[in-house]
Amino acid sequence: MTYKTNKGGLSRRSFNSLLGTAAFATTLPTLSTQAFAAAGDTIRIGWIGPRSGPLGIFGEADNWLAGLLAGTYANGVEISGKTYAVEVLMTDTQSDPVRASQATKDLINSENPDLIIASSTPETTNPVSDACEAAGTPSVTTIAPWEAFYFGRGGVPGQPSPFKWSFHFSFGAGDFGPLYVDQWNKIETNKKVGMLLPNDADGNAIRMGLIPALEAAGFEVFDAGPYENGSSDFSNQITFFKNEGVEIINAFPFPPDFPVFWRQAAQLGLAQQLKIMQVAKAGLFAAEMEGLGELGYGVATGAYWHKKFPYSSPATGLSSAALADGFEATIGKQWSQQAGANAALLDVAMAALVASGNPKDKAAVAAAFGTLVADTAVGTVDFSKGPVPGVATTPLVGAQWTRASEGPYPFTLQVTSNALAPDVPLTADLAPYKIGG
Amino acid sequence: MTDYSIRPIPQFDRAIIAGAGMAFVVFGLLPMFGSALVVDKLTMLFIYIILAVTWNLLAGYAGLVSVGHQAFVGLGAYMMLRMVEAGVPPFIAIVAGGAVIALIAWPMAAFVLRLRAGEFAIAMWVLAETIRSLVMLDPYIQGETGRSLVVLNAYDPDMRRNTIYLMALVLAGAVIVISYRLLHGRLGGETQAIRDDEEAAGSVGVSTFRVKRIIFVLSAVGCALAGTLWLASAITFQPRTAFGIQWSVFMLFMVLVGGLGSILGPILGAVLFMTLQVIFGDFGVWYLAGLGIVAMLFALHVPRGIVGLLSEKMGREPITMQKLLNPKRT
């Protein structure tokens, strides 16, 4: 079993042949050698993820997790009586969708991987899935609302799936309704909710799906209307929320926008009247809260993985608690949800390769996803019961950032609602928001 | 009385042109023996060549510096997406989606070409952002999420890759030949007169607006074709990427480094850019910073780009579009 970093999917050799092409005539014979064919008994997994650039925080754990996988399968994996070595090829998207697409194509063309995996945000998962779909290479992706994966790439409700090679497992936009109703009913409020939703796909999907669900559950919803991502002034929305007397705010901001909004909300006196500040999309990482300082304590969020998840990851061989501890020991930062979420991606990948019966047959690997049920760090992932073909859903839990009772990290993430994942233990009661915690 | 004749094309230039013709044929045969990786990389190179040549047409010959031509890259891709949705076969939509942009660029020219230099550059950027916002309002595009051209998975990957490669090759060749022919004719003289002094050109009877409009529309269609080809090979349409400012930065880099206002410059610039991207692209932020430094060094020390260096060595510009005159006795 090996694990190697493939910086960009283009080897020295293939680059030389490319140079040769540029010089045409003289070097033509060398071009005909398709020298990149994989050895017959090594499974090659291409892992494409954002490891530098603005989304780099999502990929912090990747190299460490790939190393753990290498350890688990040091003696290979036995599939249908044959033992295969496992090789993971790491490629960085640099947080750029164009590069994600290009890197996927390069990896497929030069290394012929048996399965491509990718994680975190539609800017990563969609270009990678599209490139795999076009090249006829199976792929599985995670950590992007499944609606963005399916409808954002041309899937149409009620029609057969147009995708043959790309698969996805994640939470969905529809999960927020039941989660928030459960979480918000845990404390006494006037049930007036202010919604801060940008004019992007997530914002609009949430506007159409979540607002009716909240109203049906007895909440009174005040929508401040769509705004452009990257806004620097939220005073209109803040005044609107103040005038309506809301005690709950629910925001789905582009992550850099949240501190802008939240600082203004504190300056203009909105934060002082709130009991719940519920944020999604932003607020996933402790680093964001540390950036907010005193304003960060008490912000409520959702979590797709937590170190208290009572599951373990077969591919890395670690329990959830061990994943969190290992992350802190290896990366030197507070554990993040990505540790478990991306471990689950490896779990699903290995389960699919094993279930295929023949991991070197791309059609067999793709077919395996149809009925795949895999145990992972985020619980059981079941592709046979997906909302649409080729998609499996995973749960979200409600959570709240609170002041850590002991160091070294100032914030701790408490599980405050488990309506969608009853197996996950609650670690604290939701506390009303108060500046400074 | 002395009359002047235009000098014939020098021997060396003929050799370059013949070499280019041969290269075209070799590239045309390449899918039969080249690896998929090489075919993919060369497709991207041809797209870059289309972008560089058309942007140079505008900036290098008509003197119109645009930082908003990503509007046409994005619009081309969007048109293709819409056409395919309406039932047009995707490979036809690559060309049709690009061509239809002429209908948008023509009326647009009436507004933006009234602006001078800096105003024009800024107006184009503003227009690009406005067009992106409008495209994002289309429910089919779903705001930031975008839409993928997933119908292309119906074709065999090798056939699809090679078809797009050949289309990119032919379109890049066509863009080069068309701009060469145009610049060699009357329009070439007129555009360069406008670039050097618009008022003087007007005073000697050049219809400056007409000439600028033709060049503007051509450059828009070129960018749109690059957009459709890029969408066909990348498949994912996300408005922030398709309408991203990076396209303008790439064009600026390729033309500046290759040689503004020359016919070979943008092609050499595109080859250099692609090579840098392949070798250094993995370094992420440092790669981008490096590109910036290279562009600055060229702007400061080699303002005429690689072609400028070649010209100094040879004593004249290879394949120049300047009219060289011979005194001729009558």
In a domain, A425, yes or no: no
Distance CA B81, CA B96 (A): 11
In a domain, A433, yes or no: no
Q: Mean pLDDT throughout A422-428? A: 95
How many other β-carbons are positioned within 10 Å of the β-carbon of residue B101? Answer: 26
**CA distances to A107, A173, A210, A225 from A216, in Å:** 48, 17, 10, 20
pLDDT of residue A33: 26
Q: Which of A18, A94, A204 sits opposite B143 (nearest CB)?
A: A204
For residue A29, say if its preceding peptide bond is cis, omega within 30 degrees of 0.
no
Whether residue B15 is predicted with pLDDT greater than 60 in this model: the reply is: yes
Distance CA A301, CA A281 (A): 9
> Is the CB of B148 less than 8 angstroms away from the CB of A10?
no
Q: What residues in B contact A151, CB-CB < 8 Å? A: 142, 145
In a domain, A88, yes or no: yes
Pair (A243, A261) in one structural domain: yes
Residue of A nearest to B154 (CA): A134
B136 in contact with A at a CB cutoff of 8 Å? yes
How many other β-carbons are positioned within 10 Å of the β-carbon of residue A80? Answer: 10
pLDDT of residue B63: 86
**Burial degree of B33 (CB within 10 A; 0-12, 13-18, 19+):** middle
Q: In sequence order, what are the residues at sequence separation of 6 or more whose Cβ sits closer than 8 angstroms to the Cβ of residue B8?
A: none
Q: How many domains does chain B have?
A: 1
In a domain, A284, yes or no: yes
Distance CA A121, CA A340 (A): 16
A97 vs A382, more confident: A382
Distance CA B192, CA B186 (A): 10
Question: What average pLDDT is seen over chain A?
Answer: 88
**B149 to chain A nearest CA, in Å?**
7
> Is the CB of B144 less than 8 angstroms away from the CB of A200?
yes
Q: Which of B147, B152, B234 sits opposite A101 (nearest CB)?
A: B234
Pair (A9, A141) in one structural domain: yes
- Chosen from A6, A11, A17, A21 to mutate, greatest number of chain B CBs within 10 A: A21
CB A91 within 8 A of CB A8: yes
How many other β-carbons are positioned within 10 Å of the β-carbon of residue B62? Answer: 27
Q: What residues in A contact B36, CB-CB < 8 Å? A: 108-109
**B173 to chain A nearest CA, in Å?**
16
pLDDT of residue B325: 62
pLDDT of residue B2: 55
pLDDT band at B240 (very low <50, low <70, confident <90, very high): confident
CATH of the domain at A136: 3.40.50.2300
In a domain, A424, yes or no: no
Relative to beta strand A139-142, strand A166-170 is parallel
**Longest pairwise C-alpha distance within chain B:** 70
A307-321, B69-83, B149-163: the lowest-pLDDT one: B149-163
> How large is the angle between the packed helices A337-355 and A320-331, nearest 10 degrees?
120
Pair (A100, A40) in one structural domain: yes
Beta-carbon contacts below 8 Å between A and B: 139
pLDDT of residue A52: 87
pLDDT digits (tens, 9 = 90+) for A29-38: 222 222 333 4
**Burial degree of B129 (CB within 10 A; 0-12, 13-18, 19+):** middle
Pair (A230, A202) in one structural domain: yes
Tokens of A209: 């799906």
Residue that the structure tokens 């909710």 belong to: A193
In a domain, A323, yes or no: yes
Q: Is the ipTM of this complex over 0.85?
A: no
pLDDT of residue B112: 92
pLDDT digits (tens, 9 = 90+) for A377-403: 999 999 999 899 999 999 999 999 999
In a domain, A422, yes or no: no
Q: What residues in A contact B284, CB-CB < 8 Å? A: 52-53, 92, 94
Tokens of B206: 């050049």
Residue where a domain stops, chosen among A378, A393, A408: A393
pLDDT digits (tens, 9 = 90+) for A339-349: 999 999 999 99
Partners of residue A279 on adjacent β-strands: A251
A114-118, A196-200, B263-267: the lowest-pLDDT one: A196-200
Q: What residues in B contact A389, CB-CB < 8 Å? A: none
Pair (A189, A285) in one structural domain: yes
Q: Mean pLDDT throughout B228-254? A: 92
Pair (A288, A311) in one structural domain: no
Q: How many domains does chain A have?
A: 2
Pair (A237, A322) in one structural domain: no
- Chosen from A109, A129, A257 to mutate, greatest number of chain B CBs within 10 A: A109
Pair (A316, A330) in one structural domain: yes
**A231 to chain B nearest CA, in Å?**
15
Containing structural domain, residue A260: 174-303+396-417
CB A358 within 8 A of CB A79: yes
Residue of A nearest to B247 (CA): A98
Distance CA B251, CA B262 (A): 14
> Is the CB of A162 less than 8 angstroms away from the CB of B241?
no
A31-40, A232-241, B47-56, B232-241: the lowest-pLDDT one: A31-40
Pair (A400, A359) in one structural domain: no
A53 in contact with B at a CB cutoff of 8 Å? yes
Distance CA A116, CA A128 (A): 8
| Residue B137 C-alpha from the chain's centroid | 28
pLDDT of residue B327: 60
Whether residue A217 is predicted with pLDDT greater than 80 in this model: the reply is: yes
pLDDT of residue A13: 43
Q: Mean pLDDT throughout A329-333? A: 94
The values of phi and psi at residue B201, to 5°, are: -60, -45
CB A301 within 8 A of CB A250: no
**B141 to chain A nearest CA, in Å?**
8
**Burial degree of B266 (CB within 10 A; 0-12, 13-18, 19+):** buried
| Residue A149 C-alpha from the chain's centroid | 11
Q: What residues in A contact B91, CB-CB < 8 Å? A: none
Residue A169: enclosing H or E segment and its boundaries?
Answer: strand A166-170
Pair (A269, A328) in one structural domain: no
Pair (A205, A219) in one structural domain: yes
Residue that the structure tokens 């005193």 belong to: A294
Q: Where are the beta strands (DSSP E) in A293-410?
A: 300-303, 312-313, 318-319, 373-376, 379-382, 391-393, 397-403
pLDDT digits (tens, 9 = 90+) for A4-20: 554 444 444 444 444 43
Whether residue A268 is predicted with pLDDT greater than 90 in this model: the reply is: yes
> Is the CB of A10 less than 8 angstroms away from the CB of B235?
no
Containing structural domain, residue B44: 2-329
A398-407, A420-429, B152-161, B218-227: the lowest-pLDDT one: B152-161
CATH of the domain at B170: 1.10.3470
Residue A407: enclosing H or E segment and its boundaries?
Answer: none
In a domain, A436, yes or no: no
A200 in contact with B at a CB cutoff of 8 Å? yes
> Is the CB of B236 less than 8 angstroms away from the CB of A7?
no
Whether residue A246 is predicted with pLDDT greater than 90 in this model: the reply is: yes
Distance CA B137, CA A403 (A): 42
Residue that the structure tokens 């197996």 belong to: A423
A199 in contact with B at a CB cutoff of 8 Å? yes
pLDDT digits (tens, 9 = 90+) for B289-309: 888 899 899 989 988 899 988
pLDDT of residue A341: 97
Q: What single letter denotes the amino acid at residue A4?
A: K
Q: Rounded to the nearest 10 degrees, how much is the dihedral formed by the CA atoms of B115, B116, B121, B127?
A: 0
Nearest alpha-carbon partner for B68 in B80, B79, B58: B58
A141 in contact with B at a CB cutoff of 8 Å? no
B130 in contact with A at a CB cutoff of 8 Å? no
Pair (A179, A121) in one structural domain: no
Of chain A, the percentage scoring pLDDT greater than 70 comes to 91
